Structure 1
Amino acid sequence: MKIALIGYGKMGRLIETVAAERGHDKVVVVNESHAGLASEKLAETLKIADVGIDFSSADAVSRNVEACMLAGIPIVEGTTGWHKDREEVEKLVAAHNGAMIYGANFSIGVNLFYRIADYAAELLSKFPEYEAFIEEQHHSRKKDSPSGTAIKLEDIVSTKLYRDDSMNRVRIPIAVTRAGNIPGTHRLGFDGPSDQVLIQHTARNRECFAHGAVLGAEWIKDRKGFYEFADVIWEMLSAPVKPEKR
């Protein structure tokens, strides 16, 4: 694939490395010098690419998505903090018969963690004496708080837990830490009267996010529609296991 990197910070450079290892080429870099460009002008720059991967800033997401749609290329949206504009962005993709894949977190491990959390919450919902909690830690430069991953985790777990017979949804408390250079740690706990169940995902570095973003680009390249990265993981989990050659 020919990839347009939208945002060329640490994540953008790491995606460039991972993409090259998988045989793809970076053909466009969109950085601070393009900040003032309208979506129509940016689209002209993007047309030579097969797909755009955006790890820029939340306030630029709508413009970047529109530019990719005008350029006729799908977009992998890795930026967080833009979900107040989700309805507008989804309509934009549909209006251009385009393709977009987004995710609160592009780590394969985190998306498997979501599935484990969903099952754990279903099990623990039968035992109301266990109260759920979420803790998340990230580096001090991360702007959104709580993280998109923690919000997604809270949404998954809270849909399975109810306070009373009227089926009122329980909101799960999220404790946030921003310090140092932590790539990302998320914990889901269920605390009972005499014991605790704890599930944790820890990112050792940012390469897991870059790998997932490139995997998402490979998956979305020839598709149309509005997808979440969890759809990629679901498809992989649903695929039949191929027998090993002997």
Structure 2
Amino acid sequence: MRIALIGYGAMGQLVEKLARKQGHEPTVICGSDCAGANAKELAARLRNAEVAIDFSVAEAVRRNVEACIQAGIPLVEGTTGWLAERAYIERLVRDSMGAVVFGANFSLGVNLYFRIVEYAAGLFSSFPEYEPFIEEQHHSRKKDAPSGTALKLQDIIERTSNYKDGNNKSSVSIASTRAGFIPGTHRVGFDGDAEQIVLEHMARSRDGFAKGAILAAEWIRDKSGFYEFSELLDEIIDARKLKD
């Protein structure tokens, strides 16, 4: 599979390395040299690829989506911090018969963790004496805080348990830490007066994120539409159940 990499920082370089190991061909690399390009100029560079994977910056996501639509290739959107534009981008993709799969986190483990938190939040919703909270830690170079994964966890808890204050605002607090070289750690806790229950996901490296992005690229290669990575996870879980 011929892959275009948009963004060539730590994640982009890791995706390139693992993609080559899996027999894929990263044919286009758009790093800082593409920062000033418009959508049309970027699209011209992308046309030799079969799919694009974006780990760049939130401010470039709209342009990158437009460029992939113009180039006629699907996009795996791994950048976070752009969901304020989700409605516009989703409409653009659907109206143009484009293809995008996005996620707050492409790690399979994190996406299974989302399901565990959803189940736990449903249980604790019947016990209001336990108050939920979220903690997340990342390396000092990560710009967005809270992380997209933490915001996704907050949304899961609120949707599942209706944890909001009287003004319909989020009452699930998020504590963010940016320090050193932490790949990513997330904790969801439910705190009561006599005990605390904590669910934790700790990434040992970024490999899980990169492998998930490549898996998403293989999945969306021949599709059109606007998808969350969780939809791919549903297919994986169903396939594993059939095997068993």
Q: Which interval holds the TM-score relative to the shorter structure?
A: over 0.9
Q: Tell me, in whole angstroms, the C-alpha distance in 2 between the residues paired with 1:163 and 1:215.
A: 34
Q: Distance in 2 between matches of 1:172 and 1:58?
A: 24
Counterpart AA for 1:159: R
Q: For residues 242 and 188 of structure 1, what CA distance do their matches in structure 2 show? A: 31
CA RMSD of superposed structures (Å): 1.7
User: What corresponds to 1:59 in structure 2?
Assistant: 59
Q: Does 2:106 correspond to 1:106?
A: yes
State how far apart, in whole Å, the 2-side matches of 1:54 and 1:170 are.
30
Equivalenced residues, count: 243
Structure 1 residue 242: Cα displacement: 4.7
Indicate the residue corresponding to 2:72 in structure 1.
Answer: 72
Q: Distance in 2 between matches of 1:190 and 1:183?
A: 24
Does the CA contact (< 8 Å) of 2:186 and 2:200 recur in 1?
Answer: yes
Cα shift at 1:206: 0.6
Q: Is the 8 A contact 2:140 2:181 kept in 1?
A: yes
- In the alignment, is the contact (CA less than 8 A) between 1:55 and 1:79 conserved in 2? yes
Q: CA deviation at 1:32?
A: 1.1
Question: For residue 25 of structure 1, what is the amino acid of its counterpart?
Answer: E
Q: What is the TM-score of this pair, normalised by structure 1?
A: 0.94
Instruction: Give the Å deviation of 1:239.
Output: 2.5
- Does the 8 A contact of 1:75 with 1:101 survive in 2? yes
Q: Which amino acid aligns with 1:135?
A: E
- Tell me the residue number matched to 1:144: 144
1:125 equivalent in alignment to 2:125: yes
C-alpha distance in 1 between matches for 2:20 and 2:96: 29
Q: Does 1:7 align with 2:7?
A: yes
1:233 CA drift (Å): 0.7
For residue 8 of structure 1, give the secondary structure of its aligned residue in structure 2: coil
User: In 2, Cα distance between the equivalents of 1:162 and 1:82?
Assistant: 24
Distance 1:155 1:9, change over 3 A: same
Extract unaligned runs of 5+ from structure 2.
none
Aligned counterpart, 2:214: 214
**Which region of structure 1 is more displaced relative to structure 2, 231-240 or 140-149?**
231-240
Percent of aligned pairs with the same amino acid: 55
